[in-house]
Amino acid sequence: MGLEPFTAEDPVFVDEDVLRDSHKPEDLIERDRELAEYQAALKPVIKGARPRNIFLYGQTGVGKTVATQMIMDRLRQDQENYDDLDVHVIHVVCKNLNSSYQVAVKLVNEFRGPNNKIPTTGYPPDTVYEFLWEHLKEIDATHAIFVLDEVDAIGNDDDILYELPRANDNGNVPVDETKVGVIGISNKFTFRDNLSARVKDSLCDEEIHFPPYDANQLRNILYQRAEKAFVDDTLSDDVIPLAAAMAGQESGSARQALKLLFKAGDLARGAGDEEVTEEHVRQAEPKVKESQVRNELESLPTQSHLTLYALLALDRQDDLPAKSSDVFEVYEVAANRIDADVKTDRTIRDRLSQLKLKGFLDVEEHNEGPKGGSYYLYEFGDIRPDMVQEVLQDVDRLDELFQKDITSY
Ligand SMILES: Nc1ncnc2c1ncn2[C@@H]1O[C@H](COP(=O)(O)OP(=O)(O)OP(=O)(O)O)[C@@H](O)[C@H]1O
Ligand SMILES: [Mg+2]
């Protein structure tokens, strides 16, 4: 048999893109309180006053980014009604930017044309900040609002979260020329707690929390999107309530709920079924979960990848569960092999605990009796070693490690 013809016929979806992350819903339901707080915090801008700095936090998939985009669109639109206002919004996603320096470079480059970008290394930090202040003076706006989305990527190196909110106070950007405000967005609760005191003081004028959605809220969100995504009457009645209940119980994430619904439809379509049923949602669940875990593993920093690699090597040699000192030994060889910084065994213990917190590892405490003390043994938690290997093999930085026999440690 040859190829089937490509046809636009689709018995399930009218527009599956409506269920994707990139789709902007027309309005944000179930977020009235948060949107009101958010708008109130930005209201001074329209009156020409200094913006308040805002720290927005809440778990993944709860609408932080989409709410921010909507509010900024609205602010840009409404300021048009005021002749004496000129508000610039600079929105950057800090994912993969591991330091304040990298964020500062990215911000500078937001103001520059394609042929004029500065490189991500080389300039002293003060010079990069100078560039930024110069650009702000050049645009000559009344307000500049910096949105730093997924800002937790910078970790403890939070200098930029001091410099930017203080740009007016420190005289780097005269307040009577441009009023500078910062909106920091994070899905890590620990990030705020670990900010240095001076940053907390300057960044957190206003804190807005986006709580997880419950199953009822997710249901409403899904109904709204499904109406445009699916062919009429293809969804059986229990599909949305089930997807909403699953996502509500597990994460409260609208993103996860939308993915479940999409995957259920996709499975029905693939099977040639005319109705999407509860059964499709149940089949979709482990698939969605696995792809989330993969994404999470992929986006870990190099040191965590190396730690996972060490565990994988031990697993392949049947040496799991293992003590952190054994993990460290393999880690050290591997880190040297790819010319990465070799951290201390204490750092690697911290990495191991972080991986445990994310559910990737299981830990068991062992007691050696009253004199022997106790130690921990680590092994993979709810993830398959094969999947860990598949993910790590695709990480460019680790290429060299997979050219050698992984059982040779
Ligand atoms: N109240 C809502 N109504 C409609 N769609 C929503 C709502 N909340 C979230 N979504 C949708 O869920 C998805 C995830 O939302 P968003 O990207 O804003 O999450 P987030 O809080 O920024 O997550 P992360 O911390 O992972 O960046 C998007 O597709 C968004 O359109
Ligand atoms: Mg986001």
* Percent of the chain's residues with pLDDT above 90: 83
Q: Tell me: pLDDT of 194 over 90.
A: no
Helices assigned H by DSSP within 123-252:
125-139, 160-163, 189-194, 197-203, 215-229, 239-250
165 lines ligand 1 (CB under 6 A): no
227 within ligand 1 shell (Cβ under 6 A): no
**pLDDT score, position 193:** 86
Tell me the per-residue pLDDT of 70-121, one tens digit each, with 9 for 90 and over. 999 999 999 999 999 999 999 999 988 889 999 999 999 999 999 999 999 9
Alpha helix segments (H runs only) across 204-238: 215-229
* Residue with CA closest to ligand 1 atom 13: 255
Q: Is the CB of 60 under 6 A from ligand 1?
A: yes
Query: Which pLDDT belongs to residue 1?
Result: 65
Q: What is the pLDDT of residue 331?
A: 97
By alpha-carbon position, which residue is closest to atom 7 of ligand 1? 63
Full strand arrangement of the beta sheet holding 143-149: 87-93, 143-149, 179-186, 54-57, 206-209
What whole-number distance in Å separates Cα of residue 371 and Cα of residue 67? 57
- Residue 110 Cα to ligand 2 middle (Å): 19
Average pLDDT score over residue span 228-239: 96
List the domains of the chain with CATH numbers: 32-209 (3.40.50.300), 221-297 (1.10.8.60), 300-402 (1.10.10.10)
Question: 92: Cβ–Cβ under 8 A, 6 or more apart, which residues?
Answer: 103, 106, 107, 110, 146, 147, 148, 149
Share of the chain above pLDDT 70, in %: 100
Higher pLDDT, 301 or 53: 53
Residue closest by Cα to atom 25 of ligand 1: 60
Enumerate residues with CB within 5 Å of ligand 2 (an ion).
65
Q: Please tell me the predicted confidence (pLDDT) of residue 26.
A: 87
Tens of pLDDT, residues 136-180: 999 999 999 999 999 998 988 999 999 999 999 999 999 999 999
Please tell me the number of Cα atoms within 13 Å of 111 on its side-chain side: 21
Question: How many Cβ atoms sit within 10 Å of the Cβ of residue 395?
Answer: 18
Give the residue-averaged pLDDT of 4-9.
80
Average pLDDT, the chain: 94
- 287 marked ligand binding residue: no
Q: Tokens 């040191």 map to which residue?
A: 303
Q: Given this model, what pLDDT does residue 53 score?
A: 95
pLDDT the model gives residue 3 = 87
Q: CA–CA separation, 404 vs 254, rounded Å?
A: 42
21 CA: nearest ligand 1 atom: 29
Ligand 1 atom closest to the CA of 66, numbered from 1: 18
Residue 369 has pLDDT above 80, yes or no: no
Evaluate: CB of 21 within 6 angstroms of ligand 1: yes
pLDDT for the residue 373: 81
